């Protein structure tokens, strides 16, 4: 039986965000153990022209939530970008995971060929559902979650590849 678009979207994105949540929880513990103000890590960047950790998490959750919703044929809910602590970021991830888990696999029927138009570099771009998932959603979620991981690792949080990948079931 071929895999459905639901199977390669929701469970994969949920797992990726759950792993990011665990990384953020480790970072919070690291900050407490080393008496580092949380805001230092939440606002940390890899390079001055890059976005801070908080924006990496916000973008990863926005793209995951928006991607899953659009593939399901619905408009995603909007979240205000106001997170300033690890608890705030973890709560945003939890809300996103809950939302995606609430989508029904049946909503994804026909999603592979569904036309999805999204702005890219200020211009509307048309995707098929498959291309939207494979060329936009998945790479962007991985990029922003990996960048969040990298920011924390660069700032001394003890993390390894296993933390990024999570359990392999």
Task: Note whether residue 58 is domain-resident.
Answer: yes
Task: Note whether residue 128 is domain-resident.
Answer: yes
Q: Supply the pLDDT for residue 168.
A: 80
Task: Note whether residue 4 is domain-resident.
Answer: no
Q: Supply the pLDDT for residue 2.
A: 79
Which phi and psi (to 5°) does residue 125 adopt?
A: -130, 130
Task: Note whether residue 154 is domain-resident.
Answer: yes
Task: Note whether residue 32 is domain-resident.
Answer: yes
Task: Note whether residue 5 is domain-resident.
Answer: no
Q: What DSSP assignment string belongs to 84-123?
A: -SHHHHHHHHHHHHHHHHTS-GGGGTTTTT-EEEEEETTE
Split into its structural domains, the chain has a count of 1
| 57: CATH | 1.20.120.450
Which residues on adjacent β-strands are paired with residue 163?
none
Task: Note whether residue 92 is domain-resident.
Answer: yes
Q: Supply the pLDDT for residue 169.
A: 72
Give the pLDDT of the chain (169 residues) as one tens digit per residue. Answer: 678 999 999 999 999 999 999 999 999 999 999 999 999 999 999 999 999 999 999 999 999 999 999 999 999 999 999 999 999 999 999 999 999 999 999 999 999 999 999 998 999 999 999 999 999 999 999 999 999 999 999 999 999 999 999 988 7
- d(C-alpha 169, C-alpha 158), whole Å: 23
Q: Supply the pLDDT for residue 153.
A: 98
Question: 73: domain range?
Answer: 10-165
**Cβ(25)–Cβ(86) below 8 Å:** yes
Task: Note whether residue 76 is domain-resident.
Answer: yes
């Amino acid at each position: 039986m071929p895999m459905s678009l639901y199977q390669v979207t929701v469970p994969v994105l949920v797992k990726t965000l759950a792993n990011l949540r665990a990384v953020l929880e480790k970072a919070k513990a690291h900050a407490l153990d080393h008496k580092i103000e949380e805001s230092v890590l939440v606002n940390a960047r890899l390079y001055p022209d890059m976005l801070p950790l908080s924006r990496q998490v916000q973008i990863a959750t926005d793209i995951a939530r928006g991607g899953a919703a659009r593939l399901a044929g619905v408009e995603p809910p909007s979240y205000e970008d106001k997170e300033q602590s690890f608890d705030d970021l973890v709560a945003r991830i939890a809300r996103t995971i809950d939302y995606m888990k609430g989508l029904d696999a049946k909503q994804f029927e026909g999603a592979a060929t569904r036309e999805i138009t999204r702005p890219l570099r200020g211009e509307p771009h048309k995707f098929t559902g498959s291309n939207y998932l494979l060329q936009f959603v998945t790479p962007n979620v991985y990029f922003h979650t990996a960048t969040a991981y990298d920011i924390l690792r660069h700032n001394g949080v003890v993390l390894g590849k296993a933390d990024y990948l999570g359990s392999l079931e």
